[in-house]
Structure 1
């Protein structure tokens, strides 16, 4: 026994000795590595140009160094890379975002400094919970870059790293995404033609400008040089109080998975994106009493000096229009537009501290409103609105085609500055709404009764839609005899927008956290919607709900679009006069006629969406009513009737004779293609299957009869119309053939194997009987009927030819 004890003590002593040797070795190694550091004055020489800010930045012989305060290790930094200037024809523009990520600096082993990306998608509810450790063990942050410590400042102990290659070369933090390089057909970085042009440091941010040259993959081989700017913005040490996302209010949001010791499963949740808008400390008591106060920090948008001067006031007005919405949240002067101070050399439009409306010299007819937000809290840090010059072409064409009969100012190719300015103002407000955190609300327009859109007093007072975040362009329902002015024709910030800003930005006091806030916010939603259903958020228009569509108006888009067609019938005959310009080779006429046809098709597809299955109204369990309700039978039948009246009765008015001699189009082909596309939808196995699943009494046989009555026009002896009618008869039989034709060597879908086939066969037999009893003195028509009977026989027999 004693021998064993002595042996164990000997082994332990040996292990301790070995451990001590390793420790001594490590200490010597660390000491040696520290002594390897070059003296500070040999790295940061007397020739260095040094600037103090968030980090101290040194420039020595075209090399750039960061000297990082110890207090900023581990602090989250938002890294945003933008294009400053780009080559022609690459379809990206100065001010647009190329990359965005959150990083932090960390002292690593072996005299290294790491840059880690802070990608957060899972978290524990509370740092004191046991699950917090488990979450941390599964969320190791990726190392994006590693730096050698070049020296240490003896005056303050701050280490110095060389960041030259970090910003010159490619890495996940400062490089554009690979997908962007592929789209731009860029190859590798040309090292000899890539430079840092400046690094400037400020109290909470660092701005790095580079010229980066890439080889070009596309022929002819060459190079492409882009000027880039990377902003490193120090995020707040204490993140803003989060506000949890609610599907009933349209905000952009960041999504997470929540782990909680007190829950039996994970919870998916999201936090909305919004600016940090808080009352000043001395105004909190006033704010609580409902008095308007100014925020600690105003939301400011600057106008790009590249913007034509005559349009700047209208862009600014579109921004300032949001002040009224923020008053509903308790703040006055919360948002303001300013001209960019061109003479202030301390400011840069690429600086991520400043929100800017950037003006692009582009033929793209568009504008967009992005946001840069703190991923920890959803706090919007800044936005660079993209404004393409050719957005004016887009709004011009909408306005002429939709409300030309109501506004004489719309009846020419070059609008007066006042009218174009008004249209710019509404687009500006829409895009700024996105930058404030608001998503599209495509269902908002459905909350206005159609007849109120023709009520001059009401629509001029309230606007034609409850939200400027809808794609409700202009009031095409208004008829000339209604004499509605521009206040009833233009979109504007509406009651939904003001309420959504109130819901997202109004301060909540005396609660522990965002989870307690959610209970209050839920009550706000329920009470507000009960009081005013027009505050409904209808989503992005991407589901099957026919109330949530782009470009539509009113609570009954069938009735609304009949009014729209009436206006379109007034527009088309006037296009030659309205588009006439000296020297124009009918290019204007071609463009505006195409816009008229597009508008007609919008009306058609708005109506067609009523044949879908459900309305979707998101509700919490403490609200009354169902989330999903079926579209009524009467609405479906009304949609089919619209198709019969406005399409199957061929819209020859859309292609008048006076245009056919000046524009090249085949009226028969264009109309027939429209008719075929609609019949393919109405007479598809999927549609018939959906009709069969309805809870109310609308059998497939009745549906088929409605389609037939709409599409199957009797031959009436009109030479022009009968050509179209005979064509749709043939189309109708062809489409039914496709329903009954079973796919070979393929598993059938539920729709294809359903009883719908039996109803179709019954329908076809009835149609055959009707054709056999039809007589016509016109020999061509008689031949047509006989041919249709033969085709029906082939379909019923399943003959293949």
Structure 2
């Protein structure tokens, strides 16, 4: 491949590009990496113009098999990137074309960058955006986007559940957003899961504040944004690149990037619109990573308030499901699927809330940025607010009190040719709820989190394991309360989880073990002194036996 007129650009950890690994073995630097970002070759037609069309734009073809209603949405999602490329001095840098019905070329031809549609039986994702780059320079030479048909079906579900108008259509906004995201990958950009940490939990619904985007980067995984009752609906999904995206494109695609210009751009990375949280930094599973801003499917810079609002919205919508899914002659399948989806959203949002406890904000710094620290613990008040929401709206007695008229109709459609069966086919809500609760507890009690609570006390954290365990105990075991069956399941699991801290292969340090030991003593006393109606009394006798057995054996 010719390298003339292509200027490779050295990557930087503060802005997210896919890159080609380059290690300089001739340098005396202790960090010899000189990775080159992946980007397309864009050359201005008029090099002197502040804004110029490129000699060869980046062209994406929309496959002819794309549903007619969806084609203009895909085109809009592709060409939305021109807003970002203007920051780098290019207009009409990205062009969308629709493959003619009588085209004599196949969508698999590598000479064409094509947005294709697939209908997989069990798709793992809604879309994919692979590309091919020159390993010596980082120049991108080909790309394809595959989007799954289930994404379109999801958009129609959004319409049915949340309503729509031609001016405010969740289907259109979702397809535009999804297309933008996948195109973002093919022009070089990596995920940025910190992008939702931009607007406040109420501002994010105000279009006069957000404009056409609710997040700083389209490269996040964002949930559908639903305004709480009493507020006007804002954007369901972003439909143009955010400020981070424009900044990243300016960094990657500006024709000339002097050392001074580069340093000025990258210095912005410490500000909220430009923070970057890639896959490797995301708090995806319990104990993984430390910055709660880097999280999939969260929203706003105060996830506690946003989640509290969302729970109210979800409860109201769940109650409306019998009216939404009442078409005569239809089975209960869509009704059931949507019920589990909406209830499951509670678990997903509470996962994000749980990451506040023991969380540490991470800022990638260089010398000279003395007004910012590399590590800052999540403020005590935010951690406490997160714990309060978890115990009051997710672990508390009575919060899973479902309407029996809904539960008794949660029936999945059976395939006519199927041979399944033999087990309980009625709703297994206790298991479903406990799975969500245990994910949250796994995050709160993870040995890495317990260790981090203590280590971060060296630089400002004051929410320590003893208080965390005390707050969980007070939320889990309430004097005078008659726990329902969901709470009993939860209490039993919690006791087992605490006892497991002392397993032979445990990774907990002694500070965490001491806090857990004290909490088990509290549970031991509580379960001995509280008498209830027979079934509850038996429950506490069982828990007391578990704890007593632990103390006898330990």
TM-score (norm 2): 0.86
Which residue in the other structure is 1:64 paired with?
none
Which residue in the other structure is 1:565 paired with?
311
* CA drift at 1:573: 1.1
Which residue in the other structure is 1:504 paired with?
252
Which residue in the other structure is 2:343 paired with?
597
Q: Find the aligned partners of 1:385 and 1:573 in 2 and give their Cα distance.
A: 38
Which of 325, 330, 335 aligns to 1:584? It is: 330
Which residue in the other structure is 2:479 paired with?
714
Which residue in the other structure is 2:375 paired with?
628
- Seen in structure 2, the aligned counterparts of structure 1 residues 441 and 398 have a Cα distance that, compared at 3 Å, is farther
Q: Find the aligned partners of 1:265 and 1:786 in 2 and give their Cα distance.
A: 61
Which of 43, 50, 60 aligns to 1:301? It is: 60
Which residue in the other structure is 2:552 paired with?
797
Which of 511, 514, 523 aligns to 1:755? It is: 511
Q: Find the aligned partners of 1:733 and 1:348 in 2 and give their Cα distance.
A: 60
- Seen in structure 2, the aligned counterparts of structure 1 residues 777 and 508 have a Cα distance that, compared at 3 Å, is closer
Matched, 1:424 2:175: yes
Q: Find the aligned partners of 2:333 and 2:58 in 1 and give their Cα distance.
A: 43
- Whether contact under 8 Å (1:366, 1:394) holds in the other structure is no
- Seen in structure 2, the aligned counterparts of structure 1 residues 694 and 677 have a Cα distance that, compared at 3 Å, is same
Q: Find the aligned partners of 2:44 and 2:337 in 1 and give their Cα distance.
A: 51
1:405-464 residue CA offsets vs partner (Å, 9 max, x unmatched): xxx339xxxx999653443222111111111111111101112222312445323x2532
- Whether contact under 8 Å (2:62, 2:98) holds in the other structure is yes
Which residue in the other structure is 2:276 paired with?
537
Which residue in the other structure is 2:111 paired with?
353
- Seen in structure 2, the aligned counterparts of structure 1 residues 716 and 264 have a Cα distance that, compared at 3 Å, is closer
Matched, 1:521 2:276: no
Greater mean alpha carbon deviation, residues 239-248 or residues 643-652: 643-652
Which residue in the other structure is 1:319 paired with?
78
Q: Find the aligned partners of 1:555 and 1:267 in 2 and give their Cα distance.
A: 36
Q: Find the aligned partners of 2:402 and 2:548 in 1 and give their Cα distance.
A: 37
- Whether contact under 8 Å (2:191, 2:220) holds in the other structure is yes
Q: Find the aligned partners of 1:257 and 1:425 in 2 and give their Cα distance.
A: 38
* CA drift at 1:652: 5.1
Which residue in the other structure is 2:405 paired with?
658
Q: SS at 1:492's partner residue?
A: coil
1:86-129 residue CA offsets vs partner (Å, 9 max, x unmatched): xxxxxxxxxxxxxxxxxxxxxxxxxxxxxxxxxxxxxxxxxxxx
Which residue in the other structure is 1:248 paired with?
14
* CA drift at 1:523: 2.2
TM-score (norm 1): 0.61
Alignment of 1:56-67 (within 5 A): none
* CA drift at 1:792: 3.2
Alignment of 1:329-478 (within 5 A): 329-343=88-102, 345=104, 347-363=105-121, 364=123, 366-397=126-157, 404=162, 408-409=163-164, 420-459=171-210, 461=211, 463-476=213-226, 478=227
Matched, 1:694 2:456: yes
- Seen in structure 2, the aligned counterparts of structure 1 residues 457 and 431 have a Cα distance that, compared at 3 Å, is same
- Seen in structure 2, the aligned counterparts of structure 1 residues 423 and 782 have a Cα distance that, compared at 3 Å, is closer
Which residue in the other structure is 1:143 paired with?
none
- Greater strand percent: which structure? 1
Q: Find the aligned partners of 1:654 and 1:468 in 2 and give their Cα distance.
A: 37
Q: Find the aligned partners of 1:760 and 1:729 in 2 and give their Cα distance.
A: 15
Q: Find the aligned partners of 2:500 and 2:405 in 1 and give their Cα distance.
A: 39
Q: Find the aligned partners of 2:478 and 2:297 in 1 and give their Cα distance.
A: 30
Which of 236, 241, 260 aligns to 2:2? It is: 236
* CA drift at 1:650: 4.7
* CA drift at 1:770: 4.7
Q: Find the aligned partners of 2:331 and 2:186 in 1 and give their Cα distance.
A: 41
- Whether contact under 8 Å (1:546, 1:612) holds in the other structure is no
- Whether contact under 8 Å (1:463, 1:488) holds in the other structure is no
Which residue in the other structure is 1:606 paired with?
352
- Seen in structure 2, the aligned counterparts of structure 1 residues 694 and 416 have a Cα distance that, compared at 3 Å, is closer
- Whether contact under 8 Å (2:155, 2:170) holds in the other structure is no
Larger RCO, structure (CA 8 Å, separation 6 or more): 2
Q: SS at 1:409's partner residue?
A: coil
Q: SS at 1:381's partner residue?
A: strand
Which residue in the other structure is 1:97 paired with?
none
Q: Quick check: which has more Rg, 1 or 2? A: 1
User: Which consecutive unaligned segments of at least 5 residues does structure 1 have?
Assistant: 1-234, 510-516
1:533-559 residue CA offsets vs partner (Å, 9 max, x unmatched): 312222232533110111110111111
